[in-house]
Every structure is written in structure tokens, then in C-alpha cells.
Amino acid sequence: MSKDKHEQSALFPNEDVATLAQIIHTIAKGDFSATDKLYELPGQAGISPEVANLAESFGMLLVRMEAGDFHIERAAEVEERLKELNELKNEHLAIAAHDLRNPLSAIRNMAQMLVEMELTEKTKEEFLHSIYRVSNQMLTLVNNLLDVAVIESGNLELTLKQGNLSALAAERAEIIKPVALKKGLAVNTSLGVVPDSIFDADRLGQVIDNLLSNAVKFSQPETTVLISSRLVDINFEITVADQGPGIPESELDNLFAKFEKLSVQPTAGERGAGLGLSIVMDVVAAHGGRVDVQSTVGKGTAFTITLPVDASA
């Protein structure tokens, strides 16, 4: 007989009480493997009702203590998560403020010159075009920030309707063509015949816009951007490929992270906050799909969206 068990038997001559005391003593020392014995004790033959009730009461006390520990740990986890989210929010605000400050200053300076200086009609027209272009960049940034906020809050809602993904790709390609033409780029399409499916046309249109915009932004004049679509087994594939500088392999893992800035730079001084690809990934994931990227430095980059035939699945 062990020393502890001998001591418990001496203190509690009744065998039932001694057994219960031994179990409690073991648990009190931090050995919670004895809790199974505690829960089994009331059902054992020959155990007195008083000892059985006492064992059940002590078992309930342990359960409540464990639940209390769980709630404390859970509260600590929630507090830590809230702290992380608050830090992320502050980081977002700081980056957004930085990215908005420069274009706002540019608009203010150009507007001040338009008001205070005698300018030629040509210069006025150039300033107005610049104000329009910069304000559009700011609007894109604000819209992206709002989209990120919606996605991170878990409130992204899809308006699912029947449509055709090849037709959507063709429509978005036509929209980007004037921008590409100004840079001396060609936007070509190779769109397969695909069946209609169910998806959110506005959100997936935003995805295609972001990919096409990036392709144009990072491409040199006299190169081509190609958007293609096809049906592969039970999935749709939409690919946007450019002949730009490519992305270093070391940057591919963080490519879809929020506010990620690449080492390669836009070819005409275009700006971006690094939110577009993050939104692309989240919207495609909400449709049950995925985004893959292939890139070769010096040759170009291709983004492929893979979606189930029924994107509502």
C-alpha cells in the first residue's frame, strides 16, 4: 500500500470514504488523470449513497472550475485578437493616410494655381485632366479600403445571378482598352465558349478589373495583355497574362497580403495601395474558387482564376 493511500485509510476507516479521499488528494496534487476514477466512483457496486453524492458534487465542482479556466483562457485569446485587430486597423489608417496625403496635396496645388495664376488654356486642360486622374486614384483607394473592411468583418455578401463568365471577361477587357491604348499596349482576348453559371457579376467584374489594371500598370509600351477563358472539367478558368517585368520568386508567397508592395514598379508612375490582389483572393474564395500565379522575371506574369461551374456551390 502506498504511503498516501495508507494515510487516507488511517484518517478515513470507511473504505468508500478512504477511496474518495485518495482520489481527491491525487487531484489536489495536480494529477488530473484521477478525474476519471472520480466520475466512475458513484456507479461502482457497494459505494454508499453518501459517498456517491459527495463524489458527484466534487465532480461538478471540477467541471465548473475547468469551465472557468476555459473562459479565462478564451477571454485572454479574445483580448489578444482584439489587440491585433486594433493594431491592424491603426496600420491600415496610417498607410491610407499616407497614400491619400500626396494626391490630395497635388489636387490642392493644382487647384490653387488654377485659381491664382494666369494659365494658358492648354495648361488649364492638363491640370484638370490631372485632377480627374488623381481623384480617381483616391476613389479607388477609398473603395478598396471599404471592401477590405467589409471582408475582414465577415460581412461580404454575394449577389448571385445567372451570367456568362466569358461575356463578363469580354466586357471588362473593353473597359480597360482605352487606358492600355494610352500606354501603347494591346489588350487581346481568347475567350472560350462556356455555359452560363451563377456568380456575383459586380464582384467578379471587380476581380477581373484589378487583374487587368495591374497587367496594364506594370507593362511596357508595345507589349500585349491577354485575357483568356476556358472550361476545364467542372471548372472555369480565367487567365490574365502580361509581358511585364515579372515578379521575383521571393515575393510570390506574400503577393496577396494586404498593403504588400512589390520591388517592381509601375511603368508610368501609377500608384496603388497594395489592396487589389488581397480583394481578388477574398472575392474568388467567397465563390468557392482559387487564384494561382505564374511569373518569370523578365518575361511576364499570369494570374489564373479557377471557379466551379456553379460558383454558388
pLDDT at 256: 80
Instruction: Give, in order, the Cα–Cα distances in Å from 216 to each of 3, 185, 190, 225, 265.
Output: 81, 7, 17, 7, 12
Q: Residues 112, 245: one domain?
A: no
pLDDT one-digit tens code per residue, 131-190: 887 887 778 777 777 777 777 777 788 889 999 999 999 999 998 898 899 889 999 999
Q: Residues 147, 250: one domain?
A: no
Residue 313 lies in a domain: no
Query: Is the model's pLDDT at 258 over the cut of 90?
Result: no
Domain that holds residue 7: 3-74
SS3 (DSSP) at 110: helix
Give me the CATH number covering residue 96.
1.10.287.130
Number of domains in the chain: 3
Query: Cα–Cα distance between 128 and 114 in angstroms, integer?
Result: 9
Instruction: Give, in order, the Cα–Cα distances in Å from 2 to each of 5, 22, 33.
Output: 5, 11, 17
End-to-end CA distance of the chain: 64
pLDDT one-digit tens code per residue, 220-236: 899 999 999 999 988 99
Which residues does 79 contact at the CB level (< 8 Å), separation at least 6?
none
Give me the CATH number covering residue 271.
3.30.565.10
User: Of 174, 182, 184, whose CA–CA distance to 129 is shortest?
Assistant: 182
- 186-191 and 224-232 as β-strands: parallel, antiparallel, unpaired? parallel
User: Of 115, 145, 140, whose CA–CA distance to 127 is shortest?
Assistant: 115
Residue 46 lies in a domain: yes
Q: How far is CA 49 from the centre of its chain?
A: 57
Local confidence band at 95 (pLDDT 50, 70, 90 cut-offs): low
Residue 200 lies in a domain: yes
Q: Which of 52, 74, 96 is the last residue of a domain?
A: 74
pLDDT at 12: 41
Helix axes 201-217, 165-182, angle to 10 degrees: 30
User: Of 246, 248, 161, whose CA–CA distance to 204 is shortest?
Assistant: 161
Amino acid at 150: V
C-alpha cell at 280: 481578388
